[in-house]
Amino acid sequence: MNVIVLSPIRMFGDGLATSLGNSEGIRVVAVARDLAGLRNALAGASVQVVLIDVTQGIDLYDMRSVAVEHPALALVALGLNEQRQDVIRCGRAGFSGYVPRDAPIDALRGAIADVAAGRLACPAEISSALLRALFRSDHQSDSLDTELALTQREMEVLHLLGHGYSNKEIARELCLSIATVKHHVHSILDKLKLPNRVLAMRRVRDAPWLASVASRRAGGVREG
C-alpha cells in the first residue's frame, strides 16, 4: 500500500520513511512537511494511508478537511497522547487510527495494516469512550453535520466568540461592521441550535478544530 508521512520535522519524517521502506507491502511515496505539501502529494499519487505527526500541534480542522475531501483515505495519528479526549478529538477530525507516543516501530506497521483492513486496536477504556461519544453525537442537537454547515467567516467569528470577544471587538478584529457581526452571530447560534453566546464559547472549547481558524486568516482580510 502507498503511504505518505506528514511531519514538520524533516529528520523524523525522512527517518520514518526509511524505516518503513524496509517493510513488506508498504511503500512511502512522499514525505510532506505541511498541509500544502500533503495536498500536492495526494494529487500526484494513489495513496491509501497518511501518517500524521500530531506531536507538533497539527491543525485538526485542516485534517478533517482532508478526510472530507478524501473519504477513502486512512489517516493515522503518530505520537498521540493516549487519553480518551485526545483519541475522540482525532476521531472527530477524521482519523482512522493512532499510534501512542511510546509505541515501537512494529506497532506502527501493525496500525497501518489495521487501518487498511478497517480495524482499530485500542484499550477497552478508549473503546468505551468512543462508543459513548457516538451516542452523544447521535442524540445531541450539536452534531458535527451542523458544525460543517458553518461558513469560513462564521467559524472565524465563532473563534473570537470563544475567546470572549464582544461584537464590537470582533468587528474591529475582522474589519467588519457591527451589524454584519451581529448577523454572523445570529446565524452561528441558529445553525448550532444554541440559545446564547455563552454556550457558543463552550462549543469552541469542546471542538478544538474550530479554534484553529485564527491561523487561517493570515492571508489577509476577506469580505464578510
121 and 153, same domain (yes or no): no
Task: Decide which of 103, 137, 171 is a domain's last residue.
Answer: 137
156 and 121 in one domain? no
Q: Which residues contact 1 (CB under 8 A, 6 or more apart)?
A: 25, 26, 27, 48, 49, 112, 116
**Domain's final residue, options 90, 113, 137:** 137
Confidence band, pLDDT 50/70/90 cuts, at residue 118:
confident
**Domain at 183, CATH number:** 1.10.10.10
What pLDDT, on a 0 to 100 scale, did the predictor assign at position 141? 41
State whether 77 and 164 are in the same domain: no
Residue 50: strand pairing partners: 4, 75
Range in 41-45, 137-141, 209-213 with the lowest mean pLDDT: 137-141
What is the distance between the alpha carbons of residues 76 and 99, in angstroms, rounded to a whole number? 7
> Where among 111, 137, 163 does a domain terminate?
137
Reported as a single tens digit per residue, the pLDDT across 57-72 is 777 767 888 888 888 8
113, 6: one domain: yes
Q: Is residue 97 located within the same domain as residue 152?
A: no
| pLDDT for res 171 | 94
The whole domain housing 59 covers 2-137
Give the per-residue SS3 of the chain: CEEEEECCCHHHHHHHHHHHHCCCCCEEEEEECCHHHHHHHHHHCCCCEEEEEHHHCCCHHHHHHHHHHCCCCEEEEEEECCCHHHHHHHHHCCCCEEEECCCCHHHHHHHHHHHHCCCCCCCHHHHHHHHHHHHHHHHCCCCHHHHHCCCHHHHHHHHHHHCCCCHHHHHHHHCCCHHHHHHHHHHHHHHHCCCCHHHHHHHHHHCHHHHHHHHHHCCCCCCC
Predicted local distance difference test score (pLDDT) of residue 126: 60
The verdict on 106 and 198 lying in the same domain is no
- The answer to whether residue 223 sits within a structural domain is no
Same domain membership, residue 34 and residue 49: yes
Query: Are the CB atoms for 6 and 53 separated by under 8 Å?
Result: yes
pLDDT in tens, 126-165: 666 666 666 555 444 444 445 546 777 888 888 888 888 9
pLDDT: which is higher, 117 or 73: 73
Q: Is pTM, for the whole model, over 0.75?
A: no
CATH number at 13 reads 3.40.50.2300
Tell me, yes or no, whether 100 lies in a domain.
yes
Same domain, 174 and 200: yes
Let me know whether 70 and 26 are in one domain. Answer: yes
- Asked if residue 110 and residue 133 are part of one domain, the reply reads yes
Residue 224 lies in a domain: no
Domain membership flag for residue 115 = yes
Q: What is the pLDDT of residue 125?
A: 59
Q: 209 and 121 in one domain?
A: no
Reported confidence tier of residue 211, pLDDT bands at 50, 70, 90: very low
Domain count, the chain: 2
Whether residue 24 is predicted with pLDDT greater than 90 in this model: the reply is no
In a domain, 157, yes or no: yes
| One domain for residues 93 and 189 | no
The Cβ-side half-sphere exposure at 117, using a 13 Å CA radius, reads 9
